[in-house]
Amino acid sequence: SQKRDEAVKSLILTGFLCVLLCVATMAFTSDANRLVLYPLEDMIRKVEAIRAAPLKAVRMADTEHQAEERQRERLQETGIIKSFFRCEVSKPKSQMMETRVLEKTIIKLGSLLALGFGQAGVNIIGQNMASDHGVDVMLAGQQVE
């Protein structure tokens, strides 16, 4: 009877540890996906979009800037309301993640590429970036109005 009780307790302890390990693994995976994997996938999507059509980078930069402004306004509005009810002074506590900084840098580089080379240059660079064979310096020129 004592061995049976001890075996049941060991079985319960083993089950509890299995559940605990599963929950910890799911929490770790969720954080890793949210902080690393999803931002990297977004960066890859944006790089592929810029690679397909370099002029999209300018539009991406504009939409990114507008979204950032809307978010900043929303945070200011909610921050004022929260600080009023809590009787506290709001402090900026959010730091930008490195993946977000890299994403913004990629968009800025793409828009600088589009602005620096113009319409004709962007088309040539887009054709060179579309192929995996490297740079083809003998592409035919195009006249842009």
Show the 3-state SS of 30-71.
Answer: HHHHHHHHHHHHHHHHHHHHHHHCCCHHHHHHHHHHHHHHHH
Is 97 contained in some domain?
Answer: yes
> For the segment 128-142, what is each residue's pLDDT rounded down to a tens digit?
777 667 666 676 666
**Higher pLDDT residue, 33 or 110?**
33
Q: How far apart are CA 110 and CA 47, in angstroms?
A: 9
Is 137 contained in some domain?
Answer: no
The confidence score (pLDDT) of residue 57 equals: 82
The confidence score (pLDDT) of residue 83 equals: 66
DSSP state of 139: P
Place 12 in a pLDDT band, splitting at 50, 70 and 90.
Answer: very high
Average pLDDT estimate for 63-72: 88
Is 15 contained in some domain?
Answer: yes
Backbone angles phi, psi at 124, to 5 degrees: -65, -45
Contact 125, 54 (CB under 8 A): yes
The confidence score (pLDDT) of residue 89 equals: 53
Is 11 contained in some domain?
Answer: yes
Contact 90, 82 (CB under 8 A): yes
This prediction has a pTM of: 0.61
Place 119 in a pLDDT band, splitting at 50, 70 and 90.
Answer: confident
Task: Say how many domains are in the chain.
Answer: 1
> For the segment 16-66, what is each residue's pLDDT rounded down to a tens digit?
999 999 999 999 999 999 988 998 999 899 888 888 777 788 888 888 889
Is 145 contained in some domain?
Answer: no
Q: Note down the domain range covering 11.
A: 2-130
Is 138 contained in some domain?
Answer: no
Is 135 contained in some domain?
Answer: no
Place 144 in a pLDDT band, splitting at 50, 70 and 90.
Answer: low
Is 82 contained in some domain?
Answer: yes
The confidence score (pLDDT) of residue 88 equals: 57
The confidence score (pLDDT) of residue 14 equals: 98
Place 5 in a pLDDT band, splitting at 50, 70 and 90.
Answer: very high
